[in-house]
Structure 1
Amino acid sequence: MSTPKIKVLIVEDDPLISKRYQMILSKDGQIECVGSASSGYEGTMLAALNKPDIILMDVELEDKEAGLRATSEILNYMPEVKIVMLTVCETDETVFRAFELGASNYLLKNMPADAILDAVKDAYHDRSSLHSNIAGKITREFKRIKTTEDSLLHNFYIFTQLTPTELEVLELLIKDYTRQEICVLRHVEPSTLKSQINSILKKFNKSSVQEVLPLLRKLHIPEILSQRKGK
Structure 2
Amino acid sequence: MSNKIKVLIAEDMEPIRKRYVNVLNSDPNIEVIGDVATGSTACELAFSLKPDVILMDIEMESKDAGIRATGQILSKLPNVKIILLTVYEEDEMIFSAFQLGACDYILKISKNEDIINGVIGAYHNQSPIRPEIASKIRNEFKRVKTYESSFLFMLNILSTLTPRELDTLNLLINGHTKKEVCELRCVEMSTVKSQVHSILKKFKKRNISDIITTEMDRSLLETILHNYYNK
Q: Which amino acid aligns with 1:138?
A: A
Change (3 A) 1:3 1:140: closer
TM-score, normalised by the number of residues in structure 2: 0.57
Deviation at 1:139, TM superposition (A): 3.5
The aligned residue for residue 64 of structure 1 is 63
* Counterparts of 1:46 and 1:140, CA distance in 2: 31
After superposition, give the CA deviation of every residue in 1:56-88 in whole Å (9 maximum; x if it has no partner). Answer: 000001011000000000000111100000111
The runs of 5 or more residues in structure 1 that have no matched partner are 153-231
Q: Does 1:10 align with 2:21?
A: no
Q: Which amino acid aligns with 1:122?
A: G
**Is the 1:92–1:137 Cα contact (8 Å) retained in structure 2?**
no
The aligned residue for residue 82 of structure 2 is 83
**Is the 1:12–1:39 Cα contact (8 Å) retained in structure 2?**
yes
The aligned residue for residue 28 of structure 2 is 29
**Is the 1:119–1:129 Cα contact (8 Å) retained in structure 2?**
no
The runs of 5 or more residues in structure 2 that have no matched partner are 147-231
Percent of pairs with identical residues: 43
**Is the 2:95–2:133 Cα contact (8 Å) retained in structure 1?**
no
Deviation at 1:129, TM superposition (A): 2.3
Deviation at 1:141, TM superposition (A): 7.4
Q: Does 1:52 align with 2:51?
A: yes
SS at match of 1:69: helix
Aligned pairs (5 A) from 1:173-188: none
SS at match of 2:41: helix
Aligned length: 144
The aligned residue for residue 180 of structure 1 is none
**Is the 1:54–1:81 Cα contact (8 Å) retained in structure 2?**
yes
Deviation at 1:93, TM superposition (A): 2.2
**Is the 1:7–1:32 Cα contact (8 Å) retained in structure 2?**
yes
* Counterparts of 2:136 and 2:42, CA distance in 1: 32
SS at match of 2:127: coil
Q: Does 1:138 align with 2:137?
A: no
Q: Which amino acid aligns with 1:48?
A: F
SS at match of 2:83: strand
Bigger radius of gyration: 2
Aligned pairs (5 A) from 1:1-231: 3-130=2-129, 134-136=130-132, 138-139=134-135
